[in-house]
Structure 1
Amino acid sequence: MHGAAAPSRIAVLDIGKSNLKLLVASDDGWPIETLSIPNSATTSDRYLAYDLAALEGWFLDALTEVARRHAIRAVVATAHGCSAVLTDGQSPVLPMMDYEAVSPPEIDRAYEEIAPPYTEVFCSNGSGAMRLAKQLLWQQTAFPTEFARATLYLTTAQYIAMRLGGRATSEISQLAAQGHIWDAIRQRPSSIMRARGWDRLLPPRETAGAVLGTVSEAVSRRTGLSPSTEILCGAHDSNANLFRYKAAGLREASVLSTGTWMICFNRGLDPAQLDPDRAMVLNVDVDGENVPSTLTMTGREYDLIRRDHLADDAAVLAAIPRLCAQRTLALPSFVGDDGLFPGAGRRGRITGPSPLAPSEWQALAALYAAFTASKCLDELASSGHVIIDGGFAVNAPFARALATLRPGQRVSRSQSRDGTALGAALLWKRSSRTAPVSSVLLDEATPLDDVAERRQVLEAYQSWLVQSEQSA
């Protein structure tokens, strides 16, 4: 137990595509403690899905552990996009589908005919179960009995909030996170949601950070949390990350939120300029503001290119100009998603002399990621400060390659890899905050030292752009 003098802390439940994390933070966004485990989908008897009971159990166990050491006064969840749960108001009626589930061909064909237009939802149909509306069509078609029992459709962070004791809500950054369930321009459920009657399943909206109640008696007993512990309305993970920089007075920066996916945010571009064939999407931030973005699976591609090769940063940096000089390039795309080049899906290949040393394989992956990031920034007309957050923030070769490609812009790396969770933590007490937070610490990313090497990287980038367009 903790006395009244113990510092108040918030616990963030971060549901990522690859990892589950519980982060304890101060109300001004300083990290205190982190627990994490891998997160992976399992093949259910219906489709590729997540074990929600196991996920919830791990979070409750983790809350029990941190409650012994910290005075947890609030809990908030954040989750990746395109995941949601059909519930009867208490528990799931169907497993939470993984967006990489392979949908039946008949569902693919049916969805192509009824999918909302790009100018309404600002993202393409995608492959498989990438869109929440397509998941709903699949679930309703294949499992009508279970579907008929559903009374609520909750994005993952809001489902966790309800399970902890909070009331059922929707939240704008999650609704608009490329799921085809929200019309961002007219600010209402999308046309497919209304036409199919699925909009009835969406509970009323609340603002991210709003108090939804306190932990239930059962959760309090299980974890040792005080019965007065607040449950907050959570947010989409990358939008929580974006909010962190807004809270630090860096609203106008272009933010690269990186993990399995790389989302590039850049405010100011007219949504009419978004191109559906260039991985361009429209996010809505936690305050309801439209934020033009790109969405590419660059983290996954980096791993596919690098394979199991590992080398220190100095060796990788030395290999970058060597690969550029000999035009050893990785051309998109190494996943099913086309990304920035229409028709590139699953056509990824390496041109030029093959990499040999581990440092060269890792350098090739870093170059591919940096080229992709730079192209994303170009598409969004980015011209100011660029901030790298998430997994790539600790990747010095990537950051220095990107700084080389953006000589007219300041490029920085976040000192924390937990930007998503820390951004969610800052939702707590946000309404009483009167000055920018000081918990966002950045390191400058400098271009490669040698002028000739910088020129080689820039020339290789131009070659990559041309070859990527021709190959797609």
Structure 2
Amino acid sequence: MSTTPRFIAVLDVGKTNVKVVVHDLGTGEDVFVRTRPNAVVDAPPYPHFDVEGMWTFFLDTLKEASSSQRIDALSFTTHGATFALLAGDRLALPILDYEFHGPDALEGDYLVARPSFAESFTPRLPGGLNAGAQIFWQARTFPDAFAKVTAILPYPQYWAFRFTGILASERTSLGVHTDLWAPEKRGYSSFAKAEGWSRLFAPLCSAFDRLGTVTAEIAARTGLSSDTPVYCGIHDSNASLLPHLLGRQPPFTVLSTGTWVIVLAVGGDASALDARRDGLCNVDAFGNPVPSARFMGGREFDLLTGGRPQKPTQDDIRAVIDGGVMVRPTFVPGCGPFPDGKGEWSTDPASLPGGVRTAAVSLYLALVARAAMAVAGAAGPIIIEGPFGRDALFAEALQRLTKRQVAIASGTTGTSTGAAMLALGQGGRPNLPPDRPVGGVFNLSGLESYAERWAG
């Protein structure tokens, strides 16, 4: 095996889909991609992720990939708000689905115990979106099981543990709206210390660290070489950010898109952060705070298009702007820059042609993205990562609304690309195809007045 990893197999756990991607660091291309839906098991003791189903998918897919493709190393990236509670080498409790609202039952006690926004830069989010709220609820609701917990692992490092047997924690997952981390102090929050959890977190490692190699059992099951190195792993939005941190000068803004749209304002102004409007700080792969904001854009796109989007024509777009067809926020209550909004259409969406309906949704999401960028104090050019990069209307509308340059990031899976780049090390320089510029496709005249009416 080459001493310099080139072909990195990334195990990418998104909230909606789970992927295995083999990324070629030499060309910047994904040379192998397999995807499956991410299932939630709605069964006692609470809704939880189907980790054994994912485990089988990972092993089977790695076997398929390694039969035809060189694999030099493994890396991991996952969605946030997810931690594994281990008792020895097994789960003490199932890995809780963060959309489950069980933790809200202890809301009063949690509000007293959690740290201030000034310390954690974490807004109080619904359900289990604050990982601290999950663990707080699990510890009090299942005391016998929690008493057996020997280690707490962030989700990427749980998967790294499954492949290596090595325990680790990492800052990007600890620092993403958890209440468990103090970004400016670069350490565990007073809350995590007071609860005694800081002693349970696995040893702190860098996302770039080579934890070890795959176990003999994994090598036999997948066909991977027994000396295949395994990297620590990273939170997915921070994975999307990493290529830009390695290759750009701030200020700039990255929109990491998927189920969630995360605004990452590198070099931005944190003074505008508003906890009530989903403003927060992420922590990047180097341990630095990054002013951020978020909304559930991918989920809203699916809801609002009825799962049947249709590529809009220019006539469809004119029908939306000239006819004042509008979507007003928000259809995922309690999060984003309009958390109290009661989502509504100006026109019955069932009466709209598919292209008109989709155009209205794309313009709506561009308006919400602009608002989220204001919350994050975003500055500089905008780079769109992930599925929203395929929505040309969203991208061009965002450029016109913000009057800032927008580009589409190269590659098909920004999270996987970033996770693969952990193998380059902290001083690595990514080899990426150029970004794709935006603009000149649509006639968006009147969009500014449309936006004013929308805001009013």
**Structure 1 length-normalised TM:** 0.91
| Deviation, structure 1 residue 107 | 1.8
Give the conservation status (yes or no) of the 8 Å contact 2:208–2:422. yes
Q: Secondary structure of the equivalent of 2:436?
A: strand
Distance 2:57 2:124 in 1: 33
Give the conservation status (yes or no) of the 8 Å contact 1:321–1:457. no
Give the conservation status (yes or no) of the 8 Å contact 1:245–1:251. no
1:54-453 aligned at under 5 Å gives the runs 54-103=53-102, 106-249=105-248, 251-313=250-312, 315=313, 317-344=314-341, 347-351=342-346, 356-407=352-403, 409-431=404-426, 433=428, 436-446=429-439, 449-450=442-443, 453=444
Q: Secondary structure of the equivalent of 2:276?
A: helix
Q: Letter of the aligned partner of 2:393 in structure 1?
A: P
| Deviation, structure 1 residue 338 | 3.6
Q: Letter of the aligned partner of 1:393 in structure 2?
A: G
Distance 2:86 2:418 in 1: 28
- Alignment deviations for residues 240-289 of structure 1 (CA, whole Å, 9 cap, x no partner): 10002223336532110000100011122343431112221101100111
The equivalent of 1:470 in structure 2 is none
Q: Secondary structure of the equivalent of 2:9?
A: strand
| Deviation, structure 1 residue 166 | 4.9
- Percent identity over paired residues: 31
**Match of residue 18, structure 2, among 12, 17, 20:** 20
Distance 2:323 2:426 in 1: 54
Q: Secondary structure of the equivalent of 2:88?
A: coil
| Deviation, structure 1 residue 329 | 1.3
Q: Letter of the aligned partner of 1:459 in structure 2?
A: S
| Deviation, structure 1 residue 44 | 2.4
Give the conservation status (yes or no) of the 8 Å contact 1:323–1:329. yes
| Deviation, structure 1 residue 337 | 2.2
- Alignment deviations for residues 345-380 of structure 1 (CA, whole Å, 9 cap, x no partner): xx1011257561111110111011110111222333
Give the conservation status (yes or no) of the 8 Å contact 2:251–2:266. yes
Give the conservation status (yes or no) of the 8 Å contact 1:166–1:212. no
Q: Secondary structure of the equivalent of 1:323?
A: helix
The alignment of Structure 1 onto Structure 2 pairs a total of residues equal to 454
Give the conservation status (yes or no) of the 8 Å contact 2:172–2:238. yes
Change (3 A) 1:393 1:54: same
Structure 2 residue ranges without an equivalent (≥5): none
Q: Secondary structure of the equivalent of 2:105?
A: helix
Q: Secondary structure of the equivalent of 1:97?
A: coil
Change (3 A) 1:173 1:206: same
Change (3 A) 1:265 1:440: farther
| Deviation, structure 1 residue 41 | 0.8
Give the conservation status (yes or no) of the 8 Å contact 1:320–1:367. no
Which stretch of the first structure deviates more once superposed, 388-397 or 112-121?
112-121
| Deviation, structure 1 residue 385 | 1.2
Distance 1:181 1:148 in 2: 19
Q: Does 1:461 align with 2:454?
A: no
Distance 2:250 2:223 in 1: 38
Change (3 A) 1:214 1:335: same
Which stretch of the first structure deviates more once superposed, 286-295 or 303-312?
303-312
Distance 2:357 2:216 in 1: 53
Q: Secondary structure of the equivalent of 1:32?
A: strand
Change (3 A) 1:126 1:105: closer
Query: How big is the alpha-carbon RMSD for the aligned residues of Structure 1 and Structure 2?
Result: 2.1
Which stretch of the first structure deviates more once superposed, 387-396 or 163-172?
163-172
Distance 1:404 1:323 in 2: 16
Give the conservation status (yes or no) of the 8 Å contact 1:208–1:233. yes
Q: Secondary structure of the equivalent of 2:363?
A: helix
- Alignment deviations for residues 306-327 of structure 1 (CA, whole Å, 9 cap, x no partner): 11343224x2x43223222222
Which stretch of the first structure deviates more once superposed, 152-161 or 269-278?
269-278
Give the conservation status (yes or no) of the 8 Å contact 1:393–1:417. no
The equivalent of 1:469 in structure 2 is none
- Alignment deviations for residues 66-87 of structure 1 (CA, whole Å, 9 cap, x no partner): 1111222210110000011000
| Deviation, structure 1 residue 424 | 0.6
Q: Letter of the aligned partner of 1:464 in structure 2?
A: W
Give the conservation status (yes or no) of the 8 Å contact 2:281–2:289. yes
Give the conservation status (yes or no) of the 8 Å contact 1:127–1:336. no
Change (3 A) 1:378 1:432: closer
Distance 2:176 2:77 in 1: 13
Which stretch of the first structure deviates more once superposed, 294-303 or 333-342?
333-342
Distance 1:299 1:48 in 2: 21
Give the conservation status (yes or no) of the 8 Å contact 1:85–1:153. yes
Distance 2:159 2:205 in 1: 15
| Deviation, structure 1 residue 104 | 5.6
| Deviation, structure 1 residue 384 | 2.0
Moved over 6 A (4+): 3-7
Distance 1:431 1:404 in 2: 35
Give the conservation status (yes or no) of the 8 Å contact 1:116–1:190. yes
Which stretch of the first structure deviates more once superposed, 293-302 or 234-243?
293-302
Change (3 A) 1:370 1:40: same
**Structure 2 length-normalised TM:** 0.94
